[in-house]
Amino acid sequence: MKLMFGLPLFYLLLRCANQALGVTIQSVPESNSDGVIQTELEKTVSLACQRDSSSEPQADGELVWLRNGALVSLKEGNKEGRSSVCVTPVLHADNGANFTCHLSKNATVTASIILNVAYPPQISGSEDVAVEEESDLLLQCDIEANPPVANTSWTLNGEELDLAAGGFTVTNDGFKIQLLASRVEKSLHEGTYACSAYSDKYGQHTKTFSVTLTEKTMKFPLIPIIAGLVVVFLTLLLAFASRWKKIAKCCKKISK
């Protein structure tokens, strides 16, 4: 029973000690109770690390910022008492970034904050695709988004794609969706394809592909042809050399 009452008291004292000798991070926009800032692409996030009033600058050193464990370069005058960091514009790479502030002489006195960057799937526009008959058709759309897209779909000429009829295969790894058809035929596979991704936050995004099938061209095996010509050339050269020796020997006899 003593242990049960002792542990909560110990953690309470430890928390009080951290607050008395700690650092705090203020942000615009403000973070939630879990220390996470909700933001979007192209926005600006401002962070300010404040040394606790009871902390002595000379004893505890300067303020230090880390981004995902890597040191953030700060200008002189931006390290004493209060230190600011600005993230602008917010990029895809900032999603999940962990910003930590601590005292240079006491790294245990620390505070952290995480960026949660929302962004839609990068699906838009149109693309022309030309494929030879009996070749493989591969179409791809990037669906990476935060929050993740709720669902995806493919259509052909405005109708829901019949996977079985065209021998299609669809793959989705959460980052991109791919549509594959092997040995395509003009009657089955030519037309306008569209990939769509729906996000609860950003709605539906679509990209179209105008697929044209061309006649199959005969592809000559260039390397075997070159190799065969080399063999023929060497054979003729050896035959000529052998013949030349006989002619030269005959000429010597006649000259005698």
Spell out the residues 6+ positions from residue 17 whose beta carbon is closer than 8 angstroms to its own.
Answer: none
Q: What is the pLDDT of residues 194-210, one digit of tens each?
A: 999 999 999 999 999 99
Mean pLDDT of the chain: 85
Fold of 2-118: Immunoglobulin-like (2.60.40)
**Topology match between the domains 2-118 and 126-214:** yes
Q: Which residue has the higher pLDDT, 49 or 10?
A: 49
Report yes or no: 86 and 46 within 8 Å, Cβ to Cβ.
Answer: yes
Residue 1 pLDDT class (50, 70, 90 cuts)? very low
| Count of other CB atoms within 10 angstroms of residue 219 | 7
Predicted confidence band of residue 238 (pLDDT cuts 50, 70, 90): confident
pLDDT digits over 67-126, tens only? 999 999 999 999 988 999 999 999 999 999 999 999 999 888 899 999 999 999 999 999
Asked if 100 and 68 count as a contact pair (C-beta separation under 8 A), the reply is no
Residue 12, pLDDT > 60, answer no
Residues 6+ apart with CB under 8 A from 87: 44, 45, 46, 47, 94, 97, 115
pTM above 0.75, yes or no: no
Question: Which sequence spans correspond to the domains of the chain?
Answer: 2-118, 126-214
CATH second-level architecture of 126-214? Sandwich (2.60)
pLDDT digits (tens, 9 = 90+) for 114-158: 999 999 999 999 999 999 999 999 999 999 999 999 999 999 999
CB atoms within 10 A of CB 13: 10
